Amino acid sequence: MSSAAPFELDASPALSRSTADRQESLRADPERLRARWPSARVVRMDDRGRVPVPERAFFGALDTGGAADSADSVDRADSVDTGGEAGAVPLSTTPAFDVSPELPDDAVFLGEWEDTDYWAVFDASASGARTVRVDSGWNAPVEIPVADGEAWVGLRVHGSVLDDTAAGLLTTAVALRNWHRRARHCARCGGPTRLRQFGWATICEQCGHEEYPRTDPAVICLVHDDIGVNGEHVLLARQPVWPAGRYSVLAGFVEAGESLESCVEREIREEVGVAVRDIRYLGSQPWPFPRSIMLGFAARAERGARLAPAEGEIEDARWVSRDRVRAAFEEHDPGLLLPGGTSIAHVMLRSWAKAAN
């Protein structure tokens, strides 16, 4: 008999961390927001969704040993991919008055933190920047513009190096930006829309229909075998388009009219031909690329069952022991590259690997 408890997430996923109060009621109170504008801070975002952070803190968090000062390339393959600990890099925000003496029409209200309002503007850029290449742990290096002591970084690759406040503000800003880019026409009549409520709604100029930011639910499930409480092996799979050696747990979008549990059961069956049971919820994380929320689950399956990877979708699926997963988190294993620190899959796998059986 095992005395282990079912494993839980050992920390908030990187993009679920947040400290700011969204202050929803202020979105309908322009007078108060305008009055508070001169003391507010602004997150400047460029046309690729990148925002400035302090250069020194950022490259320090990547543990590059000062490479950013001496060279234009950072070759630490594991620099952003280990991501075990939540980061401590803040956002470089700008005093609102320096952005504009008056509240701009297109500024987006993110919320309040420590008596300061935070806003986002989406038309910024790093002028005169040089480019530093940083390994993304994925297919290609990421190019980071660096200028005036600031590095311009994106949420998807570098969300885990940000501090809690920065991660929360940036996740909200990216979600709103990505929604705005897809909400320029009315879903009812096709007419042009304009933004309202400081970025939190659109209204159709033709028919008056209002829309609010949308989120698509997706499930992601860690399937382990049925030995003991937490299993001895986890089911991992890889897609053909992923870099060699990359594996993760299975995930898929919730279909119209489908429950989360049914979706978990269907996705695992479709992708690897395995029946799962004892489906239980672990936690969630917004994934605004462009507008998902990942709902994390655990489930059990028989390790003896035949794996049947879906043709064209899953290149390989296999059961991997807890010891091998633990080792792959500790040091680089070219045959088992696990998901980066910004993903909920990373937290799920790390938490499972730590758990007793």
* Residue numbers at the binding site for Zn ion (CB under 5 A): 186, 188-189, 191, 204, 206-207, 209
20 touches 92 (CB < 8 A)? no
At residue 41's C-alpha, the angle toward residues 38 and 47, to 5°, is 120
Q: What is the spatial distance between Cα 174 and Cα 220, in angstroms, rounded to a whole number?
A: 21
CB of 238 to Zn ion, least distance (A): 43
Q: What is the DSSP letter of 199?
A: G
Q: What is the DSSP letter of 348?
A: H
Q: What is the spatial distance between Cα 278 and Cα 299, in angstroms, rounded to a whole number?
A: 5
Residue among 88 and 187 whose Cβ is closer to Zn ion: 187
Residue among 206 and 357 whose Cβ is closer to Zn ion: 206
Residue among 51 and 186 whose Cβ is closer to Zn ion: 186
Residue among 196 and 209 whose Cβ is closer to Zn ion: 209
37 touches 126 (CB < 8 A)? no
The reply to whether omega before 104 is within 30° of 0 (cis) is no
CB of 209 to Zn ion, least distance (A): 4
- The count of other CB atoms within 10 Å of the CB of residue 38 is 12
CB of 327 to Zn ion, least distance (A): 56
CB of 193 to Zn ion, least distance (A): 8
CB of 191 to Zn ion, least distance (A): 4
Residue among 32 and 184 whose Cβ is closer to Zn ion: 184
229 touches 4 (CB < 8 A)? yes
